[in-house]
Amino acid sequence: MEHWTAYWQATTSLNSFAEGEAATGYQGELAHFWQTQLADLPNDALIADLGTGNGALALLLAEQRLLQQKEWRILALDAAAIRPQAGLAQQPRYAELAATIRFYPQIAMEQLPFARKSMDLLVSQFALEYSKLELSLAEAVRVLKPGGRLVAIMHSHETALAKDSALALSVMTALNAGNGILDRIQQLLQLVTHLYAQQQLPEHNAGFIQANRQLLTQVKQYQQQLSVAELDWFQYLFAPFAALLFQPKAENNQQFLLLRQQLNYYRQRLADQQAACITPLRRQLIDQLMQQLGWQTSWQELRVERELFGLSLTSFAC
Ligand SMILES: C[S@@+](CC[C@H](N)C(=O)[O-])C[C@H]1O[C@@H](n2cnc3c(N)ncnc32)[C@H](O)[C@@H]1O
């Protein structure tokens, strides 16, 4: 979970893969989908958001509670050490809403801290599918009241996002491989530090010049194998590392380690996402698990601006 904790503690975004994007939260067709799920809830309903991250969905629920003048209690948990109130402190509209939500950091949905038959609605967006489904689905069934529902939007392996993430992941994996481009950059930066300690300038050192040329050749050879989309990812991911070599400084070594760790966390989040994607086989598994628990499932494709965005699962007792 360290990779999720690091992400949520560093970002002020509400979105879970928001590198380079605005903190937009959930709007438009997606917000509409969730609004319709709230239509028949009792005034004092207890709702929990599973795998809440920075609370994007829980905030949407809190906004609706305000608009509809309801008294729902909203709980939101995540296995990572989330701190949504800290992250949202600079965004007064969200900060105020976040204060009305009870957040549970470092709580896994495989072991919910809620009483049996206590909840009216469990929701999850791009999170339930990251859990151990055999455990989390049984927990959902345990804590929901008779007549309660589980509604989750999940990644589908067919979305443009999932396909693009697969490309990003393959580029990250290649960069990170043993003797790959990042290892070479690290060796070069270590050489720079060593040369500075000896009061030598890297650009005057034959070893540095040769290693630099070799790296350039390696980069060119790798780039030639890439599709246009992969090349875009490569350029985006490689640029901050390349910048460390353009102006070699002794302290760039530390900066490199930091960047590499961030890249590693990003890679792990994407790997989680790929493993979480709903394929026909995983959908069948969910149907079977719920059926064994005596619950029925219904699935829907969710489109945003006509593009497939995810799959929604609704489940309730037969
Ligand atoms: C892709 S993010 C989605 C976050 C949020 N729902 C959103 O829409 O922005 C997936 C989240 O699920 C959380 N997560 C993964 N496995 C979990 C589990 N077993 N129990 C609780 N949270 C989990 C991760 O820590 C991460 O914050």
Domain ranges (residues) in the chain:
2-157+277-317, 160-272
What CATH class has 2-157+277-317?
alpha beta
- For residue range 90-148, list pLDDT tens digits in order: 788 888 899 999 999 999 999 999 999 999 999 999 999 999 999 999 999 999 999 99
Ligand 1 pocket member 13 (CB < 6 A): no
Ligand 1 pocket member 270 (CB < 6 A): no
What does 223-277 look like in DSSP terms, one character per residue?
A: HHT--HHHHHHHHHHHHHHHHHHHS--TTHHHHHHHHHHHHHHHHHHHHHHHHH-
Between 257 and 26, the more confident residue is 257
Cα(309) to centroid(ligand 1), Å: 17
From the CA of 80, give the closest atom in ligand 1: 25
Residue 271 pLDDT > 70 = yes
Percent of the chain at pLDDT exceeding 70 = 96
Residue 21 pLDDT > 60 = no
Cα(4) to centroid(ligand 1), Å: 8
- At residue 31, the pLDDT reads 87
Highest average pLDDT, of 24-33, 239-248, 287-296, comes from 287-296
- For residue range 201-244, list pLDDT tens digits in order: 888 889 989 999 999 999 999 999 999 999 999 999 999 999 88
pTM for this predicted structure:
0.91
Ligand 1 pocket member 268 (CB < 6 A): no
- At residue 22, the pLDDT reads 40
Ligand 1 pocket mutation, candidates 106, 126, 153, criterion most atoms within 8 A of CB: 126
> Residue 125 in contact with residue 106, Cβ under 8 Å?
no
